Each structure stands twice: as structure tokens, then as C-alpha cells.
Structure 1
Amino acid sequence: MPEWIDPRAALERVLDLVAATQPPATVLVDGPSGSGKSTFADLLIAGWADVAGNPALVRLDGIYPGWSGLDAASAAVAADLLVPRAASRDGGWRRWDWTRGAPAEWHEVAASQPLIVEGCGTLSTTSASVVAIRVWIEASDAVRKPRALDRDAGAFDAHWDEWDAQWRRYVEREHPSTRADVRVRSD
């Protein structure tokens, strides 16, 4: 299992893996809420263009079908986006409209385009088996909960316990950190 490294070293390691991967590279970034996945993905996007072109960025926050939708989004991104790409076919994802509480438009991602998928639930058994670059980011509960609640300006507060419980079930069932090529501590 890879050693724990800081975010800067992880960014360099992932960009090295991207450069060494047969195009188009796909990177999965998973970890608990508030661990720093979105920040890491943004930094990865900024550095990626110098290494391997411009990747698409898919955030699971736009796919979860509501606050109880971690497993559904994890399964959908695997079946609709990652498995087709592994077979050199275009894939995609359906955005969840949080305001309406309903599915929204479909987003196509070409099989030839580099891709980063970021969010809780990306390193499921299926997804991890079809992608070569897998990142796990974590932070202590004392760091990540205030970070997540501050980020969402109160919208997440009432749902923290529900989300965290399904997150912990996912981790117990899928053991996503064991699938990572790069493991990051962000606190």
C-alpha cells in the first residue's frame, strides 16, 4: 500500500503518473467529505494542462441524487462513465438538479478526453478496476467536518449525520483507501 504523503507531493506524483499513462488518462479522487478532494482536483486541473492536455472534471456533487445518494452516484459514474471509457467508448453522467430534486441534463464525455472524477464514492470496486490512477485523500474528523460545513455555508449542516453514516457504510463495504495508488493526508 502506498505511503501517506502531503498534498503537494501527491500532486507531483499524480502528474507524473498522468504523463506516464497511455492517453487519455483518467484519475479518480476519493475521500470523506471535507478532506480536500475538490481543492486537490482544482490543483490537478491547473497542473495537468502542462502535462497531458485539458481534462474534463466531473464532480460527484453534481451527480448525487439527493443527500442519501452516495451509492447511487457511485454506481452511476461507474456504469455510465468509467466502464464505457475503459472500453474506448464515450461515456457520460446525468446532473442532479438539487433545487428541483430531480434528474437534469446528460453530459457526454468523449473517450478520447482526459478525465478527473472527484467525490465521495469514486473508488468503488467497479470504478477502481477500470481506472489506472486512483487517489485517496483524508483528514481527521476534527478538521474535515468544520471544513465541509463552512464550505457549504449551512446547506450541509442538517445532513451531516446522514451523509457521514452512508459514507462510513461505503468505506466499510468497499475499502476504497486500499485501492489508491496515491494516499494523501490533508490536515
Structure 2
Amino acid sequence: MRFTDLAARVRATPPRLGRTRLVAVDGPAGSGKTTFAAALAAALGSAAHPAPVVHLDDLYDGWTLAGVVQRLRTQVLDPVAAGHDARFAAYDWAVGAFRVPTTVPAGEVLLVEGCGSGARALDDVRGLLVWVQAPPATCAQRWADRDGAAMTVFQPAWAAEEAAVFAAEDTRARADLRVDGAPAQPAAPGVFVPL
């Protein structure tokens, strides 16, 4: 499936977050959510001006999913729903505190990517939920490649926490679209592989 076709589907979805169409990209760490969200953001905007993407990594309070949906709602989604740019302090992983000034522009479309973005608590404002998955070994290898060997110590506990959230929320089954984040044959540019 082409990202341009999915972008057209998103644009055809009625806005539910004020005048904004909200797309959530959820799935396990290392499954390919960030890459998928970036490609969709480019298709929804342009290479020079992609649609805004909020990374939940900026809203996690360290190595926990606790409270992330509430922070997303109050600090990002509520202002955007009111037609205002969202301004918040993103989490600084090196320091372990929320302190990085971040602005998210209100507009026609907003993408949120990260584990937990598919929470039922956001169903009232979300227009599309995308689930991205890859084999656990692939996710773990991507985690190590991306974050370095020192961070792999956190991977098993994080994988267990996100799996519990996915089970409680039934995220995969509730998704509007399921994507293969590690297809056997690499997809052509501008194309992704649905499950």
C-alpha cells in the first residue's frame, strides 16, 4: 500500500480533535513506528514541511508508561483541540527530567507515535489507529542498534510493560490498520506492507 493512499484516507477522515485529524501509530519498541510515522507525515505534508509528529518518548517519565496518556491529553491534545499550538517540556533522558522546550503546531493533521498512543482513553479524539509489529528478536536488535549496548538492560522490562498495556488495551485488535514493520522483502520507497 502506498503512503500517499493512506494520506488520502487520513484527509478523508472527519476531524475529531477540534479541526485536527489525529493518527496514532502504536506497537512494540523497535517495530518501526517512528519510521512509519515519518513516512506518513511526509505524505501528509511535504519533504520540507511534513505533518507534525509527537513522539511519546518525549512524554514518558523515564522507563515507564505510567501517566503518558494523561500527559499527552493535557499537554498536547487539549491545546490542539482548542486550535492552539501545544507547548510543553519534553523529557530529557540524559538528565531524567522534563525540561526540553517543545512546540507542536495545531493544524489539519497530527501524528502521535509511541507505545501507548492507541489507548482507549483517546478513542474520542483519534481518527485512525495504526499498529506496527515486527518479530520480538528484530525489535530487540533494533533497540540495541539504536540505543546502544548500555540501554539494552532496560529492554526486557520495557517489553514486558508494553505487552501488558497492549493486552489490557487490546491495541492490535482495535487498530484500523496493521503494518508489517519487518517484511520479508523490503518495500519500495513510498510503500508499506499491511498485515
Q: State the TM-score, normalized to the length of structure 2.
A: 0.78
Q: CA deviation at 1:84?
A: 4.6
Q: Which runs of 5+ in 1 are unaligned?
A: 1-8
Q: 5 Å matches for 1:51-130?
A: 54-68=50-64, 70-86=65-81, 88=83, 90-130=85-125
Render the CA deviation track for 1:24-51: whole Å, top value 9, x for unaligned.
Answer: 322110000111001101111222215x
Q: CA deviation at 1:112?
A: 3.1
Residues matched between the structures, number: 176
Q: CA deviation at 1:90?
A: 4.8
Q: Identify the structure with bigger relative contact order (alpha carbons < 8 Å, sequence gap 6+).
A: 1
Render the CA deviation track for 1:93-150: whole Å, top value 9, x for unaligned.
Answer: 4301111111114534344352111111100111233110211111111221112221
Question: Structure 2 residue aligned with 1:16, among 5, 8, 17?
Answer: 8
The yes-or-no answer on 1:174 pairing with 2:169 is yes
Q: Which runs of 5+ in 2 are unaligned?
A: 183-195
What is the RMSD of the two structures over their aligned residues, measured on CA atoms? 2.3
Q: CA deviation at 1:92?
A: 4.5
- Look up the equivalent residue of 1:99 and give its one-letter code: A
- Find the aligned partners of 2:2 and 2:130 in 1 and give their Cα distance: 9
Q: CA deviation at 1:65?
A: 1.1
- Find the aligned partners of 1:63 and 1:116 in 2 and give their Cα distance: 14
- Find the aligned partners of 1:45 and 1:26 in 2 and give their Cα distance: 12
- Find the aligned partners of 2:150 and 2:38 in 1 and give their Cα distance: 22
Q: The residue matched to 1:115 in structure 2 has which SS?
A: strand
Q: Identity of aligned pairs, percent?
A: 34
- Look up the equivalent residue of 1:21 and give its one-letter code: T
- Look up the equivalent residue of 2:95 and give its one-letter code: R
- Alpha carbons 1:124, 1:174 under 8 Å: kept: yes
